Amino acid sequence: MKDHPKYLVNVINRQRLVKTAGFRIKEIIAYVLGEEKAPRTMGMNIMLVRDPVIRRYHKDFMGIDSPTDCISFPPEGLEEANVLEPACGDVVLSVDHALSYSLENDILFAEEIVRYAIHGTLHCLGYDDLDSRKRRSMFAKQEKYIADWHSNFYTTK
């Protein structure tokens, strides 16, 4: 496991449906930032919410009046900027979606929440999943980081 510089990662828990102790979201996102060679000054905000809250974000920022699993907010002007410039991204995650998906697919709830956090972080770093080639590349990275999380960060404490 590579040792990466410390990145500022804030996890803001705005829900009470599930406990998230032991998921180590901060550590895996800092690890992803390091592996992706983000500047040391880059930080991420990860917010865990319920469906009514993410539905509001989805409607206000994307014009879609329904809840969703994950919304990412890359830094302003990322498309024109060099991704190596200092930046900060925000990711909003639905615990309702993660819980439903994990139960339907017999996977750890923690894994699904971390998957959403990694996915949103990759979007903030400029990854795109709109065309099939880019989607395959992005999802391969995402699943590699999930495997790293299982091996090095997940704890049941």
Among residues of the chain, what percentage have pLDDT more than 70? Answer: 86
Convert the pLDDT of each residue in 21-43 to its tens digit.
Answer: 768 899 999 999 999 988 777 78
Range with lowest mean pLDDT among 4-8, 66-70, 127-131: 4-8
Q: Higher pLDDT residue, 43 or 78?
A: 43
Q: Higher pLDDT residue, 155 or 82?
A: 155
- From CA 104, how far away is CA 83, in angstroms rounded? 36
Here the tokens at position 135 are: 């989607």
Instruction: Supply angle C-alpha 148, 154, 157, rounded to 5.
Output: 170
Nearest partner of 145 among 113, 119, 108, judged by Cα: 119
For the packed helices 25-35 and 109-124, what is the interaxial angle rounded to 10 degrees? 40
Query: Which domains does the chain possess?
Result: 8-152 (3.40.390.30)
Q: For position 87, what pLDDT does the model report?
A: 54
Convert the pLDDT of each residue in 38-66 to its tens digit.
Answer: 877 778 999 999 999 999 999 999 899 99
Convert the pLDDT of each residue in 128-151 to its tens digit.
Answer: 888 999 999 999 999 999 999 888
Average pLDDT, the chain: 86
